[in-house]
């Protein structure tokens, strides 16, 4: 009886499927512009440190709040798309909860992979910019 030699494949680490998330957070309206940038970088580093991936960060600017939060009627909105196993969400929300500059945050799990703003088609960009152009005109 002859046997053919088999090559044994070493077991690889199980591939975890990435989940996609969107976190919207509101910063106090009276913080300096460079402090806003440092907060964005701090939360990006939280995600990367928890082995997540940052897909896109969008500054939505200062907007009026629907109701006052901690005596603030305005806030600086930041939208963050990220992916990972889900562990990065707890790390991110813990860091936001400890910051006095974040007045609200919310993370939702997405059913689709978000597309970064700079890789969208020109058609999508024109569609997004159309309401702003109509409001000016």
Residue 14 has pLDDT above 60, yes or no: no
Per-residue pLDDT tens for 36-49?
999 999 999 999 99
Q: Cα–Cα distance between 82 and 55 in angstroms, integer? A: 5
Per-residue pLDDT tens for 115-134?
887 755 555 545 455 444 44
Residue 11 has pLDDT above 60, yes or no: no
Q: What is the mean pLDDT of the chain?
A: 82
Q: Cα–Cα distance between 49 and 92 in angstroms, integer? A: 10
Q: Cα–Cα distance between 56 and 77 in angstroms, integer? A: 14
For residues 7-39, one letter each, b for 16 or more C-beta atoms within 10 angstroms of the residue's C-beta and e for the rest, the string is eeeeeeeeeeeebbbbbebbbbeeeeeeebeeb
Per-residue pLDDT tens for 96-116?
999 999 999 999 999 988 888
Residue 46 contacts residue 97 (beta carbons within 8 Å): no
Q: Cα–Cα distance between 137 and 133 in angstroms, integer? A: 6
In the chain, the domains with their CATH numbers are 30-112 (3.30.70.60)
Q: Look at the pTM and tell me if it is higher than 0.95.
A: no
């Amino acid at each position: 009886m002859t046997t053919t030699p088999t090559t044994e494949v070493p077991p690889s680490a199980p591939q975890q499927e990435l989940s996609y998330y969107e976190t919207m957070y509101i910063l106090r309206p009276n913080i300096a512009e460079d402090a806003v940038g440092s907060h964005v970088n701090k939360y990006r580093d939280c995600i990367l440190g928890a082995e997540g991936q940052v897909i896109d960060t969008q500054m939505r600017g200062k907007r009026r709040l629907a109701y006052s939060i901690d005596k603030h009627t305005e806030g600086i909105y930041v939208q963050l798309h990220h992916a990972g196993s889900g562990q990065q969400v707890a790390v991110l929300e813990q860091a936001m909860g400890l910051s006095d500059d974040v007045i609200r945050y919310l993370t939702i799990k997405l059913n689709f992979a978000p597309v970064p703003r700079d890789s969208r088609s020109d058609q999508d960009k024109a569609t997004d910019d159309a309401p702003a152009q109509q409001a000016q005109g």
